[in-house]
Amino acid sequence: MKLGEHLFQARKKSGLSQEEVAEKLGVSRQIISKWERGIPTF
């Protein structure tokens, strides 16, 4: 399982939205979406 899949599963299990995770990590919601889809962000 890739990092994005782990992130997605953990987020869903915790009942958090992409926006909530992004706020906790100090990044944008779009970054969380890209990470979950495996799109490079650098």
**How far apart, in whole angstroms, are the C-alpha atoms of residue 7 and residue 14?**
11
What pLDDT is recorded for position 41? 84
What pLDDT is recorded for position 36? 95
Give the H or E element holding residue 16: none
- pTM attached to this predicted model: 0.86
Q: What's the pLDDT tens digit per position in 1-42?
A: 799 999 999 999 999 999 999 999 999 999 999 999 999 888
Nearest to 11 by CA among 27, 1, 40, 24: 24
Token pair for 31: 């970054």
